[in-house]
Structures are given as C-alpha cells and as structure tokens.
Amino acid sequence: MSKGLLIVLSGPSGVGKGTVCTELRKRMPELVYSVSATTRQPRLGEENGINYFFKSREQFLGMIENDQLLEYAEYVGNYYGTPRDFVEETLAGGKDIILEIEVQGALKVKEKFPEGVFVFLLPPSLDELKGRIQGRGTENQATIDHRMSVAAYEIGLMENYDYAVVNDEIDLACQRIQSIIIAEHCKIRKSC
C-alpha cells in the first residue's frame, strides 16, 4: 500500500485556513484532519478533541518532553503543536492528512517530510486580512495587532512552499487546493 499525502496548509492569521479546511473536508471526506494541541484558551463554540486538544502549559511541555509532537511552535503567546502518532499512523494507513499550522511549524515539518505538499494561503490584500480577523470577533485589538505584525514575516516565508493559493473566494480557494491534491496524486515520484 502506498503512503498517503501529507498536506500542510499555512498562511497568516485570519486568511481563512480554518474556513477553507472545513469546506475542503466536506468536499473530500476521505481527507483526514490533524487536530493540534494548544495552550490557547478555547473560543466560544470550540470543543476539545474537535478543534484542538486544549492543554495546560505543563501538559504541553510534557508532550514536548515525551517526543509526542511532530512539530510545535510558540505563536503570539501560546504553544501549538501537531500530535506525531496520529499523523504517522494515518500516512502509513495510506490516507491523506491535512495539517493547518503556522509557518515556523510548517518549516519544521518540511525538514522531516520534504515529500509533503506545502500550500500557502494568501489574502487578496493586507487590508482584507485585517478586516477578516476583526470581523471574526474572537481576538482583542492587541492580539489582532500582534497577529498582523507576524503576518508580514509569515508572507515573507512563502517561497519555502510548493503552492500559493489566494483565498479571494472560499469556493475558488477550495477548488484550487482540491486540484493540487489531485495533481499530487498523479505525480510520478522518483526514488533517487
């Protein structure tokens, strides 16, 4: 059995990664979603084990210590990380898995899985990006400003990715990512 594809979706906060991922999973139900661990407080409506595994700082540091994370990063005051076993078991089972993670973590995944498919989601403009984070209504102004200041640095690292997809419209962004996944499955992979 051939291994599944490891797909990494990154992009600045508020660009629409979560929205696009949710829509993509409806269109591709066979695509497995990697639920991350985080020390961030749950937002209204977020559920443990569905949106994130919500952890205390001590619990998260324990996961690092026990090598349970494929990657982790500190982002705007909180830790975020990808549980290792779930990803490895899903891939070994021949299924595709998507990781929705920020840039530092994505680059660490690339070191370990250079064969992964790295997709960067871009906003139509920085003004639109700010409008989307504000419109979501989940962050206070200081956190929005902090996330926006990190956004420019993150976009600067886009050249490390395989694909850039503009999220101007959810349907179009999903179609583009679906096309990428289909094309990657058709790729002739040479072992050298």
Ligand X SMILES: Nc1nc2c(ncn2[C@@H]2O[C@H](COP(=O)(O)O)[C@@H](O)[C@H]2O)c(=O)[nH]1
**Residues marked as binding for ATP?**
11-18
Q: At its nearest, how many Å lie between ligand ATP and the CB of residue 74?
A: 15
Site membership for ligand ATP, residue 13 (CB under 6 A): yes
Q: Which partner, ligand X, ligand ATP, none, binds residue 75 by CB below 5 to 8 Å per kind?
A: ligand X
Residues 6 or more apart whose Cβ sits within 8 Å of residue 183: none
Site membership for ligand X, residue 101 (CB under 6 A): yes
135, 145, 156, 185: which one binds ligand ATP (CB under 6 A): 135
Which residue, chain included where needed, has tokens 């906060």? 13
Kind of pairing between the strands at 36-38 and 32-33: unpaired
4, 16, 105, 116: which one binds ligand X (CB under 6 A): 105
Site membership for ligand ATP, residue 169 (CB under 6 A): yes
Q: Which partner, ligand ATP, ligand X, none, binds residue 31 by CB below 5 to 8 Å per kind?
A: none
Site membership for ligand ATP, residue 150 (CB under 6 A): no
Site membership for ligand ATP, residue 55 (CB under 6 A): no
Which candidate, 180, 191, 188, places its Cα nearest to that of 28?
180
Q: What angle (nearest 5°) sits at the alpha carbon of residue 113, between those of residues 111 and 116?
A: 120
The answer to whether 181 and 28 have CB atoms below 8 angstroms apart is yes
Site membership for ligand X, residue 40 (CB under 6 A): yes
Site membership for ligand X, residue 79 (CB under 6 A): no
* Amino acid type, 107: L
Residue 124: Cβ within 10 Å count: 13
Q: Which is nearer to ligand X, 58 or 190 (CB)?
A: 58
Q: Which is nearer to ligand X, 96 or 100 (CB)?
A: 100
Give the H/E segment covering residue 52. Answer: strand 52-54
Which candidate, 102, 30, 50, places its Cα nearest to that of 71?
102
Which residues on neighbouring strands pair with residue 121, listed in sequence order?
A: 165
Chain residues in the site for ligand X (CB under 6 A): 13, 17, 36, 40, 71, 73, 75, 80-82, 100-102, 104-105
Chain residues in the site for ligand ATP (CB under 6 A): 11, 13-19, 132, 135-136, 167, 169-170
